[in-house]
Chains A and B, each alone.
Chain A
Amino acid sequence: MTQPAARARSAVSAHPVTSAAIAIAMAADIFFVLYTPIYSTVTPKVGDWPFFYFYLLIFMPITSVALWLVILLQKRLERSRQDPAAASQESGMRP
């Protein structure tokens, strides 16, 4: 476990849930903007705003929060990468 590459891999496998959460947050953030059929409608209106415009407006804070979470989770991964002993301790039974 001295090679950087091997350590990087172990950080991901040591935290499968954290890694999956990062991947899902990123993928969802991209998908729900890119898949336009979800929000290309006038109705339902939110106040005076057609849904299309309202969706675009509120998706920005959502992106911010999602990416903030991603960065927090990545910090966890990085901490275990810099401290391999802690990583293998957390992973418990992993050979």
Chain B
Amino acid sequence: MSDVNATTFTIVVALFVLVTGVGFAAARWRRAADMMHLDEWGLGGRGFGTFITWFLLGGDLYTAYTFIAVPALVFGSGSIGFFAVSYTILVFPITLIFLPRLWSVSRVHGYVTPADFIRGRYGSRGLALAAAFTGILALMPYIALQLVGIQAVLQVMGVNAASTNTFLKDLPLIIAFLVLAVFTYVSGLRAPAMIAFIKDTLIYVFVLVAVFYIPTRLGGWGHIFGAAQTHFASVNPKTGKPFGTFIPTSKSVGATQFDFASLALGSAVALFLYPHAVTGTLAAKRRGAVKRNMVYLPTYSVLLMLIALFGYMAVADPATSASIKKAGGNAQLAVPYLFQHMFPSWFTGIAFAGIIIGALVPAAIMSIAAANLFTRNIFKEFFKPEATPRLQTQISQWASLVVKLGALLFAIELPKTFSINLQLLGGIWILQLAPMLIGGLFTRWFHRWALLTGWFAGMIYGTVAAYNVSAPTASHWAGSSDIVFGHSIYIGLTAVIINLVVTVVLTLVMKAARVPEGADETLPHQYTADLEQVAAPAPAGVGLSPASD
């Protein structure tokens, strides 16, 4: 602990203690008569307005891993990392098309998870199970990566970096996570919603200060862009190829314009298929709050653009580049090192605390979302159909603990690259829900068995294709794009196209064979309903629509 800066460390600890207090206090915020209800614990009472939803979704979607991984990709490969920026622009028009419909139908029927909707729409437990399984599978590594984000910050802070004892080395991480687990158990979704205010304030402050201040230290934007352009055009002696690209190329293979666009499109469609994004959405009180947030949330994308540019600043700053090289070339340390070299230690402390707290908010929401999926679509569906709202809430509380402990083991025991590969796969997997979820919000034409087969085909193709991607530095899992018909393209997109084709063909077959389609408990006008059209829910009937009883 000799090279730990006392000021930085103190500020980080102080802000962490503050957040812990807020996390526990959140249990009393907007208190309801009966808190042992999934609508309360898992969805914060379904009463958040536009303003709170903006903080909640912003805190939910722009995660600590994003703040670490996007600049890391930009630092390592150049322009391709900016697909994340183009994706966070695209996501809002695309999401505006289907998300308000999901909010409305979920509100009418009291759905808590996306799989609840699939169950109600197609009358198929199997399809809902597939959706729940995919959701949990995609969320686990995502939570683990939030820890990887924290680890990157702790490593640069020098906290126990010298210790060879795994347990001691990860002790700060374990403490942070246990605290997170306990206040999520107690306060449910209210905790991350309230902490998101602190997190976002810290992040907006440090990013805005950094983008105005750092360029003055590095000779202006012209020099930063110039240094990046020179660096990515120069040849990497290890691979014999350029380090990266400064602008997506018009070639057909590599970091191409087509690859860039396919990554952006695939990720944009996938974002609101993630269960934690749906959880944040369903917590909104009104349909209008969901819609308006598609207008206000792009503010965070501006922030992400600036954060991505930190990658270029790290390239342009010789001291940062040297530190990263010294740490074995781990590009994930780009942002923490940049801040350490550029700012006085108290400000670095604020920035580091922002990133650490930025990991806690999404990790809490993700674990709640995964827990709800388990409770609603596995436990209640297959083991205890008569589970009361109280029991469902208790199961979710415990499941959220298990999910977080699992993620902790992931992050500590397995090599970091394993989590990263799984998260890459998670994006591909979650995209396979698009036909059943987005499709189902607009049409009942697809057959449930066709959707299930299409989902399976997409999952298999996506997994195998991702495994087979190789690079000079890695024989497998080297990226999220492969080459189809001579063009680099995002695997998730190819997989979902295969998924869709299988679904359409089999739907025609199933309809010709007159295979039963299952009961649909939803009605067309319920997809546009707002709060006024929703009947007050019966006190004991959470999540149980009248039609399914």
Q: Which residues of A contact B (CB under 8 A)?
A: 4-5, 8, 26, 29-30, 33-37, 40-42, 47-50, 52-53, 56-57, 59-61, 63-64, 66-68, 70-71, 74, 78, 81
Contacts and interface: CB of A to CB of B under 8 A. Distances in A.
A71 B93 contact: no
B137 interface: no
Given A42-B229, A48-B222, A63 B93 contact: yes
B264 A56 contact: no
A56 B89 contact: yes
A8 B101 CA distance: 14
Given A35-B261, A36-B257, A40-B248, A60 B89 contact: yes
A36 B248 contact: yes
A81 B97 CA distance: 18
B250 A34 contact: no
Contacts of A35: 261
A60 B260 CA distance: 17
Contacts of A50: 225, 229, 246-247
B302 A67 contact: no
Contacts of B246: 42, 50
B356 interface: no
Nearest to A55: B86
Interface of B: 79, 82, 85-86, 89-90, 92-94, 96-97, 220-222, 225, 229, 246-250, 257-258, 260-261, 264-265, 291-292, 294-296, 298-299, 301-302, 305, 309, 523-525, 528
Given A34-B264, A53-B305, A71-B292, 8 more contacts: A5-B524, A5-B525, A8-B528, A40-B248, A41-B247, A48-B221, A67-B96, A71-B96
A76 B296 CA distance: 21
Nearest to B262: A34
A26 B93 contact: yes
A33 B89 contact: yes
Contacts of B82: 52-53, 56
A61 to B, nearest CB: 7
A63 B79 CA distance: 21
A30 B296 CA distance: 17
A35 B260 CA distance: 10
B524 A8 contact: yes
21 contacts: A4-B523, A4-B525, A8-B528, A26-B93, A26-B96, A30-B94, A33-B90, A34-B86, A34-B261, A34-B264, A36-B86, A36-B248, A40-B249, A40-B260, A50-B229, A53-B305, A53-B309, A63-B89, A64-B298, A70-B93, A78-B528
B211 to A, nearest CB: 11
